[in-house]
Amino acid sequence: MSERLRRLLAFGAASRCGILRAVSRKNRKRSRAAAPAAAPPPETAKARPRGRWVYLGTAVLGVLLLGVGWTWWQAEQFEERFDADYVGSAVCGDCHTIIHGQWSGSPHANMVRRPDTGSVVGDFNHGEFRLPIDSPDPLAGEVVARTFVEDDRYYMALRHPEDGDFVPFPIKYVVGYQYRQEYVFEEPGGVLRRLPLQWSTAKQAYFPYWNIQEGSDQTVADLWQQMTTTNSAWNVYCARCHTTNMDIVEVDPFHTRARVDWQEEGIGCEACHGPGSLHVEYMKSSPANRLAMFVRNHLHGYPVAYVANADKLPKEQALSVCARCHGADIFARNQDFYRTYEPGYSRSGRINDLSEFFRQAPLTPGRMAPTIEVWHNGRPRGIGMLFRSFVESECYTQGEPRCHDCHDPHQNKAATRPGMLEASAVSNAYCSSCHFDIGSNPEAHTHHPSGQPGSFCYDCHMPKHITKLNTGIWERTRTHEMSSLPNPHDSLRYGLANAPNACSDCHADAGLSELIDTMRRWWPNHDPPQDTGNALY
């Protein structure tokens, strides 16, 4: 006899005994009703309503227990290792209406779109791009590109470096829209080629894709040269992080011919949760399955059937969901792992933990490759190193922080709660949940008045030391290397331009020696050595 059957029989026996006792009580009440009854004492009369509530509560509890027992008996078992198919985000929205609505308006969902009046943010009303780009007169210089719309199709025309004629390229996809927008056209061999100009939402103007960062010549020939590099083959080199379930069916070594498929344009639900066909089938097959998964997930904190949820995964696997695209500093030989990565556990042995690659690329001081930029003291510098700065921190190596602690995964540019992505009392409270000894008396640690710049954790431990050129303008965003101390020592050794420090970010007029003396006075036990960069990396 199975364990489930024994439990069910025991449950039935207990229920039968309960029914017999209830019948016996009912018969006794009838026999008492046949004889004249004396008036009950006042306390007995008051007890009857309370007794009714007890009976009612017992009945409700019994119904709940029956429901739980029925759910436990009827819910189907599921495998924790599985291989499913992709179904598309629209199917997810059939049940997850609210979350799907949040996601559908996010940059992730709208990362790749066909060009139309709702998706294009650049100037295609006879727009122009001139060289040189740093001319004080915006109308001076040579027109080398034009953008326009003809018969509802969007075009970017580039001046040919030899005959001077404008060659029009019909745009098939636009990529991004928040900070910048890229434009992609399709070649006869199936390669989706990235055009050399992109639109800056901050500047409200076009700017070249790599020209500024690489310092290449500002010429028409250079613009055309940007379309001959292998990494300009967008659907081979870039699309893995801008689409869902991308599969390279065919490609030649020079990226002149390619056939690439994907499930959907943009970063869909299954890019982060894994293929969902078995999950949909399981949840739609039985109400008991849905109720059992609700109890399992919300009451016990366990993952639901046939889907990956980063919140329920081990730290390394949870962070792999984000690192696949936000950890750009990887070796080329490992890109296939990243391209084919899917969250969750697979019967076929698919890699779902990328943590061994998180810190694989060396942080060579002063390196300035497109996706691997490093300060002279060995700390991550460029926007492609943002995730790397996080995994270099002691918060990662010794703690349990997750990306979704601060960043809303469904509205990916929003905070999980107001104030979480800025220096505030809210972000201080998050840090103090682990560093409670500092949080109990923050001014003793910060030496700055509460609520003022310098009193917030982010000011000193997440300074804006990650550089980016997303909009064609050099800007800085916060490093995620939370364990880094404000370090004017390195600035003194390598120069402030090559090794910034949090103290000088606010106290620009103070000398580095003065800042070092202040640090030694405030934190005598945390005086970093002169060779911090080499010692840490």
pLDDT of residue 48: 55
**For range 56-81, the mean pLDDT:** 67
Please name which of 341, 353, 344 lies closest in space to residue 317, comparing C-alpha atoms: 353
Q: Which of 265, 287, 321 is a domain's end point? A: 265
**For range 84-112, the mean pLDDT:** 96
Distances, alpha carbon 530 to alpha carbons 374, 488, 503, in Å: 18, 10, 16
Query: Which of 130-134, 205-209, 311-315, 371-375 shows the lowest mean pLDDT across its residues?
Result: 130-134
Q: Residue 396: inside a domain, yes or no? A: yes
Q: Which of 265-274, 291-300, 362-371 has the highest mean pLDDT?
A: 265-274
Kindly state whether residues 222 and 124 are assigned to the same domain.
Answer: yes
Please name which of 315, 398, 302 lies closest in space to residue 355, comparing C-alpha atoms: 315
Higher pLDDT, 38 or 159: 159
Beta pairing partners, 198: 207
Which residues fall within 8 angstroms of residue 350, CB to CB, at 6 or more apart?
83, 340, 341, 342
Please name which of 311, 244, 247 lies closest in space to residue 109, comparing C-alpha atoms: 244
Reply yes or no on whether the pLDDT at 35 is more than 80: no
Higher pLDDT, 234 or 80: 234
Beta pairing partners, 207: 198
* Predicted confidence (pLDDT) per residue in 237-290, tens digit: 899 999 999 998 999 988 889 999 999 999 999 999 999 999 999 999 988 888
| Helical spans, DSSP H, in 385-455 | 386-391, 394-398, 425-432, 436-439, 442-446
**Banded pLDDT at 337 (limits 50, 70, 90):** confident
Reply yes or no on whether the pLDDT at 315 is more than 80: yes
Q: Dump the DSSP string for 305-319.
A: TT---GGGS-HHHHH
Q: Residue 91: inside a domain, yes or no? A: no
Higher pLDDT, 537 or 463: 463
Kindly state whether residues 346 and 402 are assigned to the same domain.
Answer: no
**For range 190-200, the mean pLDDT:** 96
Kindly state whether residues 343 and 410 are assigned to the same domain.
Answer: no
Kindly state whether residues 393 and 326 are assigned to the same domain.
Answer: no
Kindly state whether residues 401 and 514 are assigned to the same domain.
Answer: yes
Q: Which of 299, 326, 360 is a domain's end point? A: 360
**For range 314-325, the mean pLDDT:** 93
Kindly state whether residues 384 and 329 are assigned to the same domain.
Answer: no
pLDDT of residue 70: 54
Residue 296 burial (10 A CB sphere; 0-12, 13-18, 19+): middle
CB-CB contact of 234 with 193 (8 Å): yes
pLDDT of residue 471: 87
Query: Which of 9-13, 215-219, 315-319, 412-416 shows the lowest mean pLDDT across its residues?
Result: 9-13
pLDDT of residue 68: 60
**Banded pLDDT at 8 (limits 50, 70, 90):** very low
**What is the model's pTM?**
0.82
Query: Which of 50-59, 329-338, 437-446, 466-475 shows the lowest mean pLDDT across its residues?
Result: 50-59
pLDDT of residue 478: 95
Q: Residue 63: inside a domain, yes or no? A: no
Whether a cis peptide bond, with omega within 30° of 0, leads into 528 is no
Q: Residue 343: inside a domain, yes or no? A: yes
Kindly state whether residues 524 and 413 are assigned to the same domain.
Answer: yes
Average pLDDT of the chain to the nearest whole number: 85
CB-CB contact of 85 with 270 (8 Å): no
Q: Residue 202: inside a domain, yes or no? A: yes
Query: Which of 158-172, 323-337, 478-492, 495-509 shows the lowest mean pLDDT across its residues?
Result: 323-337
**b/e per residue, 168-194, with b = 16+ CB within 10 A?**
ebebbbbbbbebbbbbbbbeeebbbbb
User: Residue 356: which domain range?
Assistant: 308-360
Q: Residue 15: inside a domain, yes or no? A: no
pLDDT of residue 371: 79
Q: In whole angstroms, what is the distance from residue 317 CA to residue 80 CA?
A: 15
pLDDT of residue 419: 95
pLDDT of residue 32: 42
pLDDT of residue 351: 79
**For range 133-149, the mean pLDDT:** 86
CB-CB contact of 399 with 393 (8 Å): no
- Total tally of structural domains belonging to the chain: 3
Kindly state whether residues 369 and 334 are assigned to the same domain.
Answer: no
pLDDT of residue 152: 95
Reply yes or no on whether the pLDDT at 77 is more than 90: no
Measured in degrees and rounded to the nearest 5, phi and psi for residue 440 equal -70, -25
Percent of the chain with pLDDT over 90: 58
The first and second tokens of residue 527, run together, are 């005086």
Residue 274: how many CA atoms within 13 Å on its side-chain side?
27
Query: Which of 59-63, 168-172, 207-211, 346-350 shows the lowest mean pLDDT across its residues?
Result: 59-63
* Predicted confidence (pLDDT) per residue in 491-504, tens digit: 999 999 999 999 99
Reply yes or no on whether the pLDDT at 40 is more than 80: no
Q: Residue 505: inside a domain, yes or no? A: yes
Kindly state whether residues 435 and 467 are assigned to the same domain.
Answer: yes
Query: Which of 43-47, 364-368, 395-399 shows the lowest mean pLDDT across its residues?
Result: 43-47
Q: Which of 205, 235, 265 is a domain's end point? A: 265
Q: In whole angstroms, what is the distance from residue 390 CA to residue 403 CA?
A: 9
Reply yes or no on whether the pLDDT at 12 is more than 90: no
The first and second tokens of residue 495, run together, are 């120069």
Amino acid occupying residue 333: R
Reply yes or no on whether the pLDDT at 66 is more than 60: no
pLDDT of residue 537: 30
CB-CB contact of 502 with 488 (8 Å): no
Q: In whole angstroms, what is the distance from residue 14 CA to residue 123 CA?
A: 76
CB-CB contact of 272 with 310 (8 Å): yes
Q: Which of 37-41, 323-327, 459-463 has the highest mean pLDDT?
A: 459-463
Q: In whole angstroms, what is the distance from residue 138 CA to residue 116 CA?
A: 27
Kindly state whether residues 248 and 388 are assigned to the same domain.
Answer: no
Kindly state whether residues 502 and 434 are assigned to the same domain.
Answer: yes
The first and second tokens of residue 188, run together, are 């006869």
Q: Residue 492: inside a domain, yes or no? A: yes
The first and second tokens of residue 153, run together, are 């199709």
Q: In whole angstroms, what is the distance from residue 453 CA to residue 128 CA?
A: 43
**For range 383-397, the mean pLDDT:** 92
Distances, alpha carbon 210 to alpha carbons 35, 61, 118, 183, 196, in Å: 101, 67, 27, 14, 8
Kindly state whether residues 378 and 526 are assigned to the same domain.
Answer: yes
240 alpha carbon, distance to own chain's centre: 15
CA angle, 299 then 305 then 308, to 5°: 95
